[in-house]
Amino acid sequence: MVQTIGQEDVMKKTIAGMLFFITLNAFAQGLLPAWNEGPTKQALLSFIDKTTTEGSPEFVPIPERIAVFDNDGTLWSEQPIYVQIAFTFDRIKALAPQHPEWKTTQPFKAVLENDIKGVMATGNKGLFELIAATHAGIDTETFQSMVTHWLKTTPHPRTGRPYTEMVYQPMLELLAHLESRGYKTYIVSGGGIQFMRPWTEMVYGIPPERVIGSSIKTKFEVVNGQPRLVGTPEIQFIDDGENKPIGIQERIGRRPVMAFGNSDGDLEMLWWTTAGKGPRFGMLIRHTDDVREVAYDRKSSIGRLDKALDMAPEKGWVVADMKNDWKEIFPPKK
Amino acid sequence: MVQTIGQEDVMKKTIAGMLFFITLNAFAQGLLPAWNEGPTKQALLSFIDKTTTEGSPEFVPIPERIAVFDNDGTLWSEQPIYVQIAFTFDRIKALAPQHPEWKTTQPFKAVLENDIKGVMATGNKGLFELIAATHAGIDTETFQSMVTHWLKTTPHPRTGRPYTEMVYQPMLELLAHLESRGYKTYIVSGGGIQFMRPWTEMVYGIPPERVIGSSIKTKFEVVNGQPRLVGTPEIQFIDDGENKPIGIQERIGRRPVMAFGNSDGDLEMLWWTTAGKGPRFGMLIRHTDDVREVAYDRKSSIGRLDKALDMAPEKGWVVADMKNDWKEIFPPKK
């Protein structure tokens, strides 16, 4: 396109004016009240505005408005341990009377002795053994009820609140705001799909078909003339690291426009998302608040945030600092 | 609940009256014009009406309105061969100059000699080799463009029409009607997701995230500092038979309310769907029209419809007979 300098100038001014108007507009609406005013909130709101405002040069059509969220540590608390691990430990304890051999076999022994370090020392292999022992052989509908019942009856060990209230209020607001702007929100988590789906719709407004996660293999069987789907002890997919973009491509079939995470396990998801053409947005959540949450930041034994944080400036990923950027961390008690 | 006979009678009459009204209503609207009037069309329309009419005793809330469709032979023609196989053959021919060894190696030799029987004789193993040779090593976005280009430039061998017009008009109407009634339609096909996704939205109104299919494994790699997803020659999932309900559970996480198929590969999907509690609907499409399509019915070498047809009466599945139930088979030429 041949253009004189004068035309370019006019264009730049028009776009600048449009963005200024969009930003003003977002602030005036009092959106995302649990986020403190500042560049992080502004980056979020301006991006959403410019990609959803008709006529904006970075407008994204509704079917392509995909936003993906890690779950543990991004949408809800992952401290002191992943909630699914807490559930799995409780299941092991409940099943222990039928398995006397567990008293002397790792990783079961460590679980029964509440020795979390001992469990962690058995590594991924140990965790998978625990998951297989507790998740397999159960049909999908029964497993769902077990999760729902456990969440209703088990308080968070530190706060005494239900785990489903240990979710981040600023992220709940963001999910709702994105939905209201035609974005489809997805969970892309290392957690198990079977563990997440029973409650994500109620808690986050994210229906089961928009939950991507790790899974065990399922088999089809006919019992008493009735078909059912039953978990097997075999791992099917670990939805972490490089597998996150792979899982997204496989399930959604489109590159997301926005991606949110809080650990190096989210690095490839953010990278692949923001490497796409057109407007893209990546955000990392830093756990920096030792008073209202847990300040583990880069150093946690679970979900390290290290490489991704180092890459953030070069890739243009926005970093949300929980202590400074979040006015509220958890929703008010019900 | 204690109830006198009189009350029950009144209730039955009310429900009967409601259903009669619903049915009348559907006919009055002139819905599904490419379906002939009769019990098949009536079964479809009454089921959709009773599950989507507020106050109906079999009302299904919107988030649970899931309808799954096989693709080949259910939504579009699978004759003379699966369209994806035609695409794969053309790719093999295009790549042949770089692979002189294919001239003497099966299954490639058979493809290059247009010997379809020879290819089929190599079985699934041969087909997977062909798919691996043509689909692997290509990043997902490039593959998409190749499919789109091929569909634009390749006519159906028998009719000369684009493959994307060899779709069944009655099913297009049904998909649109279901969407208008709050049903989410999904494709659950033995075909490859990468092959289907580039065109299902345009042709059926089914977006990529609602396409479930067979897939090869994908890997994440970084080339010149850019992340990309690339197909590998390894099969990940064959979405056929018992794997259809497994794939549905894995991707959607809800049991569908309606399921449509045309072969024994759809048997488990229909069975699992209709074994759920509450209103469920299964339909088999019989290929019985030798004038307007191909009358292969039970006997085809691909996609046999045998066991499922035998099970249909007991399971209450509705059988649509293309010759008698469909007024039109294909959409008018563009």
Residue-range domain boundaries for chain A: 31-78+164-325, 83-153
Residues A236-252, mean pLDDT to the nearest whole number: 95
Mean pLDDT confidence for A66-86: 94
Contact residues on chain B for A213, CB-CB shorter than 8 A:
none
Contacts of A323 (CB under 8 A, 6+ apart): A288, A289, A292, A295
Q: Which CATH class is domain A31-78+164-325?
A: alpha beta
Quote the tokens at residue B184.
Answer: 């989410």
Distance CA A56, CA A44 (A): 16
Q: Where are the beta strands (DSSP E) in chain A?
A: 66-69, 184-192, 211-223, 226-237, 258-261, 281-286, 318-321
- Which residue from B193, B250, B268 is facing A218, i.e. has the nearest CB? B250
Q: Whole-model pTM? A: 0.89
Contact A301, A81 (CB under 8 A): no
Question: pLDDT grade, residue B4 (50/70/90)?
Answer: very low
Among residues B49, B53, B1, B2, the alpha carbon closest in space to that of B23 is found at B49
Candidate from A92-106, A195-209, A296-310, B228-242 with smallest mean pLDDT: A296-310
The interface residues of chain B toward chain A in range 158-197, judged by CB-CB distance below 8 A, are 184, 193, 197
Q: Say how far apart CA A70 and CA B82 lie, in whole Å.
A: 38
- Per-residue pLDDT, averaged over A252-265, amounts to 96
Q: Strands B318-321, A66-69: parallel, antiparallel or unpaired by DSSP? A: unpaired
B171-208 core/surface letters (b: 16 or more CB in 10 A; e: else) = bbbbbebbbeeebbbbbbbbbbbbbbbbbbbebbebbb
Chain A nearest CA to B253, separation (Å): 5
Whether residues B246 and A229 touch (CB distance < 8 A) is answered with yes
- How far is it, in rounded angstroms, from Cα B101 to Cα A22? 61
Measure the CA–CA gap between B205 and B191, rounded to whole angstroms. Answer: 18
* Mutation site, A220, A255, A267, interface B, largest B CB count within 10 A: A220
Can you say how many angstroms the Cα of residue A157 is from the centroid of all Cα atoms in its chain? 21
CATH code for residues B32-78+161-325: 3.40.50.1000
Nearest chain B Cα distance for residue A136, angstroms: 15
Contacts of residue B243 in chain A, CB cutoff 8 Å? 220
Please judge whether B272 and A227 are an interchain contact, meaning their C-beta atoms are less than 8 angstroms apart.
yes
CA distance linking residue A106 with residue A322, whole number of Å: 37
Task: Please say if the pLDDT value at position B303 is more than 80.
Answer: no
From A271, A281, A243, A252, select the one nearest A64 (Cα to Cα). A252
How far apart CA A20 and CA A52 sit, in angstroms, is 15
B326, pLDDT greater than 60: yes
Residue B5 has pLDDT above 50, yes or no: no
Nearest to A66 by CA among A324, A281, A216, A235: A281
Q: So what's the pLDDT on residue A15?
A: 53
Does B109 reach chain A within 8 Å, measured CB to CB?
A: no
Q: Which of B250, B268, B314 to mutate to test the interface with A (most CBs of A within 10 A)?
A: B250
Are the C-beta atoms of A216 and A231 separated by less than 8 Å?
yes
Per residue in A268-289, pLDDT (tens digit) is: 999 999 999 999 999 999 999 9
Q: Is the pLDDT of residue B30 over 90?
A: no
CA atoms within 13 A on the CB side of B106: 13
pLDDT tier, B27 (very low <50, low <70, confident <90, very high otherwise): low
Comparing B205 with A127, the larger pLDDT belongs to B205
Is pLDDT above 60 for B10?
Answer: no
- Which residues of chain A make contact with B242, given a CB cutoff of 8 A? 219-220
Q: What is the pLDDT of residue A69?
A: 98
Contact A227 B268 (CB under 8 A): yes
**Percent of the residues in chain A that have a pLDDT greater than 90, as a whole number:** 76
Which of these ranges, A107-111, A244-248, B118-122, B298-302, has the smallest mean pLDDT?
A: B298-302
Contacts of B252 in chain A (CB under 8 A): 208-209
The residue with greater pLDDT, B145 or A140, is B145
Query: B44-83, pLDDT tens digit by residue?
Result: 999 999 999 999 999 999 999 999 999 999 999 999 888 9
- Residue B126 tokens, joined: 């041969």
Instruction: Summarize pLDDT for A134-182 with one digit per residue, the tens.
Output: 888 888 889 999 999 999 999 999 999 999 999 999 999 999 999 999 9
Asked if B209's CB is within 8 angstroms of A254's CB, the reply is yes
Note the pLDDT of residue B13: 53
- Residue B122: pLDDT band with limits 50, 70, 90: confident
Tell me: pLDDT of A127 over 90: no
The rounded mean pLDDT for chain A is 90
pLDDT band of residue B308 (cuts 50, 70, 90) is very high
- Per-residue confidence band for A201, with pLDDT thresholds at 50, 70 and 90: very high
Pick from A29-33, A305-309, A313-317: least confident: A29-33
Q: How confident is the model at residue A5 (pLDDT cuts 50, 70, 90)?
A: very low
Interface mutation vs chain A, best among B141, B242, B273, B314, most A CBs within 10 Å: B242
Smallest CA–CA distance, residue B133 to chain A, in Å, is: 20
Q: How much is the average pLDDT of A309-330?
A: 97
Instruction: Decide: A92 and A82 in contact? Cβ < 8 Å.
Output: no
Averaged pLDDT for residues A307-318: 97
Q: For the segment A80-117, what is each residue's pLDDT rounded down to a tens digit?
A: 888 998 999 999 999 999 999 999 999 999 999 999 88
How confident is residue B268, by pLDDT bands cut at 50, 70 and 90? very high
Residue B302: the pLDDT is 66
Dihedral angle sign, alpha carbons of residues A318, A322, A327, A332 = positive
pLDDT at B20: 52
Residue A301: band (very low, low, confident or very high) from pLDDT cuts 50, 70, 90:
low
Q: What is the average pLDDT score of chain B?
A: 90
Q: pLDDT tens, B191-219?
A: 999 999 999 999 999 999 999 999 999 99
> Could you give the angle at the alpha carbon of B94 between the alpha carbons of B93 and B98, nearest 5°?
95
* pLDDT(B232) > 60: yes
The pLDDT value given to residue B127: 83
Report whether A264 contacts A239 (CB < 8 A): no
Closest residue in B to A271 (Cα) is: B227
Per residue in B248-260, pLDDT (tens digit) is: 999 999 999 999 9
Please report the pLDDT score of residue B128 as a whole number: 78
A220 vs B2, residue with greater confidence: A220
Task: Compare CB distances from B275 to A193, A209, A227 and report the shortest one's residue.
Answer: A227
State the average pLDDT over residues A1-29.
50
Identify which of B250, B252, B271 has the shortest CB distance to residue A227.
B271
Minimum Cα–Cα distance from B244: chain A residue: A220
Identify the closest residue of chain A to B242 by CA–CA distance.
A220
Q: Is B224 on the interface with A (CB under 8 A)?
A: no
pLDDT band per the 50, 70, 90 thresholds, residue A72: very high
Partners of residue A207 in chain B, C-beta under 8 Å: 63
**Does the pLDDT of residue B87 top 90, yes or no?**
yes
